[in-house]
A = this chain, B = another copy of it.
Amino acid sequence: MNKRKIINDPVYGFITISSDLLFDLVEHPYFQRLRRIKQLGLADLVYPGALHTRFHHALGAMHLMGQALRTLQEKGHLIWEPEMEAAQAAILLHDLGHGPFSHVLEKELMPGVAHESITLEMMKQLNREMDGRLDIAIQMFEGVYPRKFFHQMISSQLDMDRMDYLNRDSFYTGVIEGSIGADRLIKMFEISQDQLVIEEKGLLSIENFLHARRLMYWQVYLHKTLLSAQAMLTQILKRARELSAAGENLFSTPDFSLFLKNKFSLSDFEQNPDLLESFNNLDDNDVWASVKGWTKHTDLVLSTLCKDLLDRHLFKISFFDTIPGEEILNPLKEKLLSEGIKQSELSYFLVTGETTNWAYEKEQDPIKVKMKDGALLDIADASDIPTIEALTKIVRKYYVCWGKNVSLRG
């Protein structure tokens, strides 16, 4: 094997690409594109270090997959080399279908098209180019491979995806309380009844993992300032689409223009291979270059929002326990109207939303603990105090964002 490669990683020290197939996947333009898509979108407006990309995350998840499978081998489970490689390939590619500013843009640009579906289309395309070398990886990804635990390592509450992203997001944001000790957790993995489970002695580590996850949600993923910036970017895209639909000529890279002007469905992707290529040309730079270009647009709503986002003059934001009613919204509307915003433009400067934090999803996909006597218990039952139970509660919050001291730039 002549393509072995070592990549520096501040989080794990080194990541080794351990096979030719994995090397070829990393080299492919589909995967190289992930270099230009930040893992956390706009979060660097809050945490300036949070600039890491889906490229690095995917490599990290592949690394952890290798570690985890070797741990299982050492515990006596038979895992074939082709399975090892396929599982690493699957987790390496699991994020291919993410566009820039993933959830923000998905909602506006391709509503109804889940990124997992795009990932699958891209994996299939790669598999065609590679003469079927990804057959097993795709089976694992889709959950149809006979040994089910592989799919759980790719997608479940204990998957390598969140092992890496929680670890990595904690590292790059500097929110060290969110650190999960992925290497320790992985040492506690076991297979029982073809399921990925945790050894009893890893119970405290899992509690810590769920706790850290909850903390990262509030501290990072649902940080007020981030929600506010996301609301602004969403409004920008909404306005741009509307102007575009109205025949306005908007500065943009060619492929981004295509997506601004259309709403594609999954079947469009399945039927049109070129569309996948166009999608693959999208990255963070298209969005930022457009936002920058639009700061000089004659539409004052668009240019104002763009300039404010660039200069980090963000919307104000408040959280509420219940849906905010007229008594909250009306004063804000009046304020905005008094600042010269038209009634028809109000919705661009006053945005409501809701957000949920659900640290442990007990019903759908419980985490199982293998007790010393061999029994499998749900962690909520294995734990000695009601902490886990507490983490299964969905916490829902409502928010209102609004422009402060907006002055449309004429």
Contact = CB atoms under 8 A, between A and B. Distances in A.
Interface stretch (A131-139, A152-160, A180-188): A180-188
Contacts of A208: 177, 211-212, 215
A173 to B, nearest CB: 6
Contacts of A293: 253-254
A14 B184 contact: yes
A311 B219 contact: no
A226 to B, nearest CB: 13
Given A48-B56, A293-B253, A8 B385 contact: no
Contacts of A285: 284-285, 288-289, 292
Interface stretch (A28-36, A106-114, A119-127): A28-36
A146 interface: no
A284 B261 CA distance: 26
Contacts of A258: none
- Most central of A29, A47, A49, A293 by chain B CB within 10 Å: A49
A394 B184 CA distance: 27
Given A49-B52, A51-B53, A286 B292 contact: yes
Given A48-B56, A288-B285, A385-B395, A74 B177 contact: no
Interface string A38-64: 000000110111011101100100000
Interface residues of A, number: 77
Given A7-B48, A311-B29, A281 B286 contact: no
In the assembly, how many copies of this chain are there? 4
A207 interface: yes
Contact of A205 (B45, B177, B187, B384): B177
A18 B289 CA distance: 33
Given A292-B253, A292-B285, A9 B56 contact: no
Contacts of A337: none
A53 B59 contact: no
Given A8-B49, A48-B7, A292-B253, A29 B181 contact: no
Contacts of A207: 211, 215
A13 B174 contact: yes
